[in-house]
Structure 1
Amino acid sequence: MYRLLIVDDEPFIVDGLTALFEQEEALDLEVHQAFDGEEALAAADRLRMDIVLTDIQMPGMNGIALQQAIAAQWPRCKVIFLTGYDDFHYVQTSIRGGAIDYVLKAEGDENIVSAVQKAIALIQEEHTYDKLLEGARSELKAAMPIFRKEYMLALLRGEPSTPESRRLRFAELDIPLAGEREVLLALGRVDRWRERMAPGDKMLFAYSVNNILEEHFAETFHSVYVAYEQDRFVWLLQPKTAPDGAAGTDWERLAGYALGTLEAVQASCRECLKLSCSFVVGSVPADWLEAPAKFDRLNGLFLRGLGTGSEVLLSDRHLLRASRLQERDSLRKIALLAQYLEQKETDKFAALYEEIMGAVQGRPAMQTGLALETFYQMSALFISYLNRWEQLEDMAGEVNINRLFSLQEHASWEEATRFFRTLAERLFDRRTDESEREMNEVVRRIHEYAEAHLEGDLSLNQLSDIVHLTPYYLSRLYKQKTGENITDYIATARVAKANELLGATPLKIQEIAIRVGYESASYFTRFYKKMTGQTPQEYRDSLKR
């Protein structure tokens, strides 16, 4: 139900309008009366008003002043002005002030009711809009942890970024880190869950581990927690104090503090949560572009040596050579290479491919572990791609597919590099050719159907059903391929068919109009003249000369 306040200094008008709207049961209105501006404001003080139907010219406070006062109190209230004067100045002033309508009393009851219906529609639209926004905000807030997790994992997997892009995304996702500053990584693992623990309970206990860590680090670090496996977590840490300028941040001290604090976190997990947990922490910070390699390095510590034990507490200091880190980094990027291949990003693929394959250059006889791992990961990438796109058999006629299965099929690393590069180029070409073929087929089917059905329905909706595409996408694709709109093509085809019938048959203009899709001869004549500059009869007469 909506509250309607009727305001006029003439009581018979107020009573008449009240009776009118009380009869309009479908509008579901609660009608209130006021006989001047002050009385109207007093009513608005007592109750929220949804719609005010008011005379403009009243003694004391006029309608425009009343509108301004009500807008200050109830900004969403819709004001309709009712007046006996068709005064343009009043129209301008009222609309400028926010009125939604302006009705002359002489226009009758129907227009007044229509104005109120319009106000109700606006209120309903605003309520729907607000509800959608409120729902979207609520859903966004609930999904924010997922968005944060996805973005942080993408960075840790090597997604390209810049300080500015990170700064913007951190702000959007409420991530309390600086995109231009280095970050210290700490990883955690639950060695043993408590017995008879449900998966949902595991998530709850994982958050409890994070709460313990954040409580211990609260005074020193900004931290972001990401679970990357059911029993594995990573924290990205930055000191709360800004870098010290020339002296720099004392990262060695902070890394030592982090390692010592994780010992206390480990004890709290054991005592409070009855969980056995292990932690590894970086001995030095990493730039954001180096963070993926650091993440892989720390995660690898859980898989070897001391890291396979229980309640482990390790730093990565002196455990891997710098060159070895670079090797692992190049292997990690193969996943990104697969993404570029899938998305047809040719230039990005080529640049990253040369970087990955170049990491093996100069090594003797392809006997290193890096060469073997790179080759077989690259083979797996292409085999997976060929299988998904059902091209394995087709490509066998263009390249020697057996060379995918063994490094020994290649005389040198350079030859293997050329093989994969050639294979990628052909796959990119095939994707482009396939796209071109499909576009040509869509255009061919549209032309074929249109020419056979010039007298019928050639609307965009009908044509989109023929090729099983959405109308918008079909229109865009057709314009991209042919350089013209579908409607222009159909118009040209109809003129061509009309010319054929005008010249080769004795059919009347009305009959020809129907055969090219126009029920009205007059409309067909206007269309034809617009397209050709002459009427159909003028064209037919010109052929007889």
Structure 2
Amino acid sequence: MLSLLLVDDEMHIVETLAATIPWAELGIGTVHKAYSVSEALDIMNMTPADVVITDISMPGTDGLELVKSIHLYWKRTKCLLLSGYAEFEYAQEAIKHQIAGYLLKPVRDEELIARVQQVVSSIHQENELNNIYERAMKVAREQLPKIRSELLRDLLQGKRIDGPQLQERIGLLELPVQQGAEIGMMLVQFKDGFGESRGFELSLMEFAIGNLAEETFEDLGAVWMCKDIHDYLVIVLIPKPGQAAANPSYKKQVEKLCDQLYANVQQYLRVKISMVMGNWGTFPDQVTKLYDNLLMVFNKRFGHEKDLPVYVMSETESVTIHVLKRLYEPPMLLYVMEAGNWEAAREKLEGIFEELGQDWSESSEHLTEAFYTLFSSFSYIAHKNGHKLAHLISGEYSRGKELSSHITLEHLKEWTWKVFDLFERHALNETRNARVNAVKEAQKFIQGSLADHTSLQSIADHLQMNPAYLSRIYKLETGENLSDYVTRLKMEQAARQLKFTTKKIYEIAMELGYQNANYFIKIFKKHVGLTPQEYRNT
């Protein structure tokens, strides 16, 4: 139940409204009374009301000033104004402060009750929306570490996120990093085996290492962590504002704390780890480069050895890795083709060829790598859909085998686009055939059950389809609504029986599933332009 505050300097008006309006029936459980603005504010300070009904004209401070204060300090309280004045400036001032209603005295009980009902309803709706929002935010906060980790993992794999969208996600995830900021990166690997049966213990260990990392580096910056696709822990250090990552003393502090983190893990968690501190770079442009260099150095320096101390990369160990980034960055070509997202697949191929043209057009190794990766993606999609690639792309299969021995960028592009177009056409034809078959099955079922109560749901149940999906594909394929098709068949059947049988009109209506003969006559005339009797007489 909500609470109400009645405010008017005329005591009898307040008392009458409090006593005569059935507030409980309107969802108002408590009614407070005030006879001045100062008294109303005292009540609001002690027990804020959900709804305030106030007169405008009162000695000293008027109702508009009260409304201003309520709007300033009690945002969720709804105000209704009562006044004997109909001046425009009052209404204008009321609108400025988001008044829920403006009623002229003397107000009729029915009018006041109706307006209060509207206000109470709006409060309940707002409360429900607030509850939904708060529940969603609670879930989001609980999932925040996981969602942060997923974003970092995407960036490590080279996923492209445009600047404004990335900045929005960073803000929503409350990450203290700005685009263009310097970041450091570390790689951690467990050296004590955690088998699959100990997955829960491993998750706890990762969580514990994350906490230790946050505590260890808290004076220097924030920690952002995820587990990569190789099961390494990737720790990104985000310097605090004013901390310069380029400062040699800052880097020395970070290196010292890396040793401290390594020691803390050994001491408190009793597990062996290998750890590499990488170089520094800008966020997000150099995230993938930092990560790729860390992986390379990690494998060189550690291999399968245990009990090695923390390794800090030197600047000279950072190299430019000559790989086809667009070929392997998410989403992979085979995944977008598998999902049937042909527009995204086309964009993916355009990006691959753009990179090949800019950097590797003369590199036979990179061109061959691209060819075999694309060939394997096409093969995978063909096989997964129950086809052989050679049958699906016909002569392009042999041409592709010949292409691999003396490949050029132009030949690769030409071959790829031809194969891609064949795949896209084949997929669209399969979709179209599936729709056509569904339409035929629906029509066959309808034709055999005209006398029954044929509904969209019954047709969809027979075809084991979602009704909305069936209705949509029927309209796409035929240009006619499914319900219109059913009615048209019934009217055609009715016309035949009217012409070639002596059955009574109500009998024909019953046979076609119409229990009400008058309704049948109305539908028949709408479709044919004549009543059944007129049609029979022609």
Same fold per superposition (TM over 0.5): yes
Alignment of 1:109-508 (within 5 A): 116-180=116-180, 184-192=184-192, 198-211=201-214, 214-215=217-218, 217-218=220-221, 224-228=224-228, 232-236=232-236, 262-263=258-259, 265-267=261-263, 269-270=265-266, 275-283=271-279, 285=281, 288=284, 291-292=287-288, 294-309=290-305, 310-315=308-313, 322=320, 325-327=321-323, 329=325, 332-333=328-329, 336-343=332-339, 344-345=341-342, 346-351=345-350, 381=377, 385=381, 389-392=384-387, 397-398=391-392, 412=405, 414=407, 426-449=422-445, 465=461, 467-470=463-466, 472-483=468-479, 486=482
Summarize the Cα distance change of 1:65–1:164 in structure 2 as closer, same or farther, 3 Å threshold. closer
Give the Cα–Cα distance (whole angstroms) in 1 for the partners of residues 335 and 450 of structure 2: 45
Change (3 A) 1:378 1:357: farther
Query: Which amino acid in structure 2 is aligned with residue 215 of structure 1?
Result: E
The 1:497–1:105 alpha-carbon spacing in structure 2 relative to 1, beyond 3 Å, is farther
- Report the Cα offset of residue 313 of structure 1: 0.5
Residue identity opposite 2:405 in structure 1: S
Superposition deviation, residue 132 in structure 1: 0.9
Corresponding residue for residue 47 of structure 2: 47
Q: What is the Cα deviation at residue 156 of structure 1?
A: 1.4
- Contact 2:5–2:32 (Cα < 8 Å) also in 1: yes
Q: Which runs of 5+ in 1 are unaligned?
A: none
Q: Is the 8 A contact 1:54 1:82 kept in 2?
A: yes
Contact 1:53 1:82 survives alignment (8 Å): yes
> Would you say the 8 A contact 2:324–2:355 is kept in 1?
no
Q: Write the letter of the residue equivalent to 2:225.
A: Y
Question: Given that residues 252 and 284 in structure 1 are in contact (C-alpha distance below 8 angstroms), is that contact kept between their aligned partners in structure 2?
Answer: no
CA distance 1:39–1:269, change in 2 (3 Å):
closer
2-structure distance, mates of 1:510, 1:151: 68
* Compared CA separation, residues 48 and 437, structure 1 to 2 (3 A): same
Q: Following TM superposition, by how much is the alpha carbon of 1:208 offset from its aligned partner in structure 2, in angstroms? A: 3.2
Relative to structure 1, is the Cα distance of residues 191 and 443 closer, same or farther in structure 2, using a 3 angstrom cutoff?
same
> Aligned in 2, Cα 1:156/1:69: closer, same or farther, shift over 3 Å?
closer
The Cα of 1:302 is off from its aligned counterpart by 3.0
**Is 1:521 paired with 2:514?**
no
Contact 1:361–1:413 (CA<8 Å) still a contact in 2?
no
Deviation at 1:207, TM superposition (A): 1.0
The answer on whether the counterparts of 2:152 and 2:225 sit within 8 Å (CA) in structure 1 is no
**TM-score normalised by length of structure 2:** 0.69
**Cα 1:450–1:28, aligned 2, differ >3 Å: closer, same or farther?**
farther
Residues 80 and 99 in structure 1, CA contact (< 8 A), matched pair in contact too: yes
Q: How far off is 1:211 after superposition?
A: 1.8
Tell me the SS of whatever aligns to 1:137: helix
Cα displacement string for residues 171-229 of structure 1 (whole angstroms, at most 9, x for unaligned residues): 333333333567654322343489x99335403321134225533643xxx75332326
CA gap of 1:66–1:206, structure 2 versus 1, over 3 A, is: closer
Q: Which amino acid aligns with 1:266?
A: Y
Bigger mean CA offset, 143-152 vs 280-289: 280-289
SS of 2:225 mapped into structure 1: strand
Where 1:132 maps in the other structure, the secondary structure is helix
After superposition, the Cα gap between the structure-2 partners of 1:524 and 1:78, relative to the gap in structure 1 and judged at 3 Å, is farther
CA separation of 1:502 and 1:95: change in aligned 2, threshold 3 A: farther
SS at match of 1:444: helix
Q: Are the counterparts in 2 of residues 528 and 535 from structure 1 also a CA contact under 8 Å?
A: yes
Distance 1:411 1:13, change over 3 A: closer
2: CA distance, partners of 1:87 / 1:512: 66
What is the rounded CA distance, in whole Å, between the counterparts of 1:71 and 1:317 in structure 2? 59
- 1:27-42 aligned at under 5 Å gives the runs 27=27, 29-32=29-32
SS in 1 for 2:332: helix
The C-alpha deviation readout for 1:451-471, integer Å capped at 9, x for no partner, is 666677666666655555555
Shift of the 336–150 alpha-carbon distance from structure 1 to 2, 3 Å rule, reads same
Q: Provide the secondary structure at the position in 1 that maps to 2:299.
A: coil
- Give identity over the alignment, percent: 20
> Aligned in 2, Cα 1:284/1:50: closer, same or farther, shift over 3 Å?
closer
Shift, 1:476, TM fit: 4.7
Q: Conserved in 2, the CA contact under 8 Å of 1:212 and 1:268?
A: no
Whole-angstrom distance in 2 between the partners of 1:204 and 1:187: 15
- Aligned pair 1:21/2:22, yes or no? yes
* Deviates further, 127-136 or 376-385: 376-385
Q: How much has 1:162 moved relative to structure 2?
A: 3.7
Unaligned runs of 5+ in 2: none
- Separation in structure 2 between the aligned mates of residue 251 and residue 483 of structure 1, nearest angstrom: 69
- Residue 99 of structure 2 corresponds to 98
Mark the CA change 1:537 to 1:25 in structure 2 (over 3 Å): closer, same or farther: closer
Q: Is the 8 A contact 2:6 2:14 kept in 1?
A: no
Q: Distance in 1 between matches of 2:524 and 2:101?
A: 40
2:531 corresponding residue in structure 1: 536
Describe the shift of the 1:209–1:494 C-alpha distance in structure 2 as closer, same or farther (beyond 3 A). Answer: same
151-160 vs 331-340, which moves further: 331-340
Q: Is the 8 A contact 1:454 1:517 kept in 2?
A: no
Partners of 1:80 and 1:520 lie apart in 2 by 55
1:2-13 to 2 correspondences below 5 Å? 2-5=2-5, 9=10, 11=12
User: RMSD over aligned Cα, in angstroms?
Assistant: 5.7
8 Å CA contact 2:21, 2:109 repeated in 1: no
What amino acid maps onto 2:19 in structure 1?
T
Say if 1:375 and 1:286 are closer, same or farther in 2 by CA, change over 3 A. farther
Shifted more, 99-108 versus 230-239: the winner is 99-108
CA distance in 1, matches of 2:193, 2:212: 12
Question: What amino acid maps onto 2:127 in structure 1?
Answer: H
Q: 1:384 to 1:66 in 2, by over 3 A?
A: same
Contact 1:187 1:234 in 2 (8 A): yes
Contact 2:491–2:524 (Cα < 8 Å) also in 1: no
1:191 and 1:277 in contact (8 A); partners too: yes
1:130 shift after superposition: 1.0
Cα distance in 2 for partners of 1:453, 1:54 equals 66
Quote the Cα distance in structure 2 between the aligned partners of 1:457 and 1:95: 57
